[in-house]
Amino acid sequence: MAVGLIRKRRRLPETTVIGIGCAGIRMTDEEFDTAEFDDEWVYELFDGVLVVSPVPGEAEVDPNEELGLMLRMYRRTHPRGAALDKTLPERYVQWPRNRRKADRVIWAGLGRRPDPKRDTPNIVVEFVSLGRRNQLRDYSEKLAEYMALGVSEYWTIDRFSRSMTVATMVRGQLMRRVIRANQSYRTKLLPGFQLRLADLFRISDEWDQ
């Protein structure tokens, strides 16, 4: 679970490598973007404070890889697959004083290769990690941030509740839709694409057993 959301006024230490001991320090965008991090952890910047979390486990990474394969196969083989511009795993979503590392980002409908520094992803996907703190981060904190940033759809895939929550903004109102493990999800952003949740949970179950 995340260990670094501590509102201390400590500043960036004079060290060459940032690690778990730096959780909670204050950082600027520039300091975060140019820092050298210990790769044993995942780092995010939330309201100018460094958040440090464990790297995702196999039960999150493997279904994320499968989702990436599904999306790429859709783009290559479906008659309307060109709607998908690009999808990438483990990418930072950036805005002032914040750097959130999304499990997967999806750009759709641009008709060109996206510029990650300029083009907000249409869809952001998070695979929920074990622990109450992680659930709060994925279901609440990141939801508010991504919606404010202009993300069209936010998918929270939760192997613990066997569901996916899709959040969207409709005429200024936040709407949530819950898709169960035995259901499939379709989005207008990717016409013809069908996400079968059971396929992802089957892979995560292999690691959880």
Tell me the average confidence (pLDDT) per consecutive run of 10 residues in the chain, 209 residues long.
46 73 92 92 93 93 98 98 98 90 97 94 95 86 92 97 96 94 97 97 93
Residues of the chain with CATH 3.90.1570.10: 58-208
pLDDT in tens, 166-185: 999 998 899 999 999 999 99
Q: Three-state secondary structure along 100-157? A: EEEEEEEEECCCCCCCCCCCCCCEEEEECCCCHHHHHHHHHHHHHHHHHHCCCEEEEE
DSSP 82: G
pLDDT of 8? 44
pLDDT in tens, 40-72: 999 999 989 999 999 999 999 999 999 999 999
Length of the chain in terms of residues written: 209
CB 19 within 8 A of CB 40: yes
Cα–Cα distance, 133 to 31 (Å, whole number)? 26
Q: How far apart are the first and last CA of the chain?
A: 20
Domain covering 58-208: architecture: Alpha-Beta Complex (3.90)
Cα–Cα distance, 18 to 34 (Å, whole number)? 11
pLDDT of 178? 97
Cα–Cα distance, 38 to 42 (Å, whole number)? 9
Cα–Cα distance, 156 to 159 (Å, whole number)? 10
- Strands 153-158 and 123-127, by their bridges, are parallel
Cα–Cα distance, 190 to 4 (Å, whole number)? 36
pLDDT of 134? 82
Give, to the nearest 10 degrees, the angle between helix 197-208 and helix 58-77: 150
Cα–Cα distance, 123 to 106 (Å, whole number)? 5
